[in-house]
Amino acid sequence: MVSTFSVVRRLLLCGACVLVGVVAASGQAPPEQRVDIDELKAAIDAGATMLLIDVREDDEVESGSIPGSIHIPLGQLEDRMSDIPHDVRLVFF
């Protein structure tokens, strides 16, 4: 089984995309779904319900982030997965 943490880590290597999914109550990661930033903006503008999670490091977030997102650095993500709701669409960037 692939952990959500490893999925996000792999995703971040592609740079220009984000991971979207819902973590099942079992804690299993959904299949990866990658969207580019324009698709994400369109979804946000259309009022899509989702939780935006900024996994960049503190110094990267200082330059700005998506309004309404929460910041959980990638290095802390695995330990903090229990803090993240499992019944909402998640967007990691």
Spell out the residues 6+ positions from residue 85 whose beta carbon is closer than 8 angstroms to its own: 51
% pLDDT > 70, the chain = 66
Torsion from C-alpha of 17, 63, 42, 81, nearest 10 degrees: 60
pTM of the entire predicted model: 0.66
The domains found in the chain, sorted by start residue, are: 4-92 (3.40.250)
* Higher per-residue confidence, 13 vs 78: 78
What's the confidence (pLDDT) of residue 58?
92
27: phi > 0 → left, psi -120 to 50 → alpha, else beta; which?
Answer: left
> With bands split at pLDDT 50, 70 and 90, how would you rate the model's confidence at 14?
very low
Which residue type does 26 have? Answer: S
Residue 10 to residue 19: CA distance in whole angstroms = 10
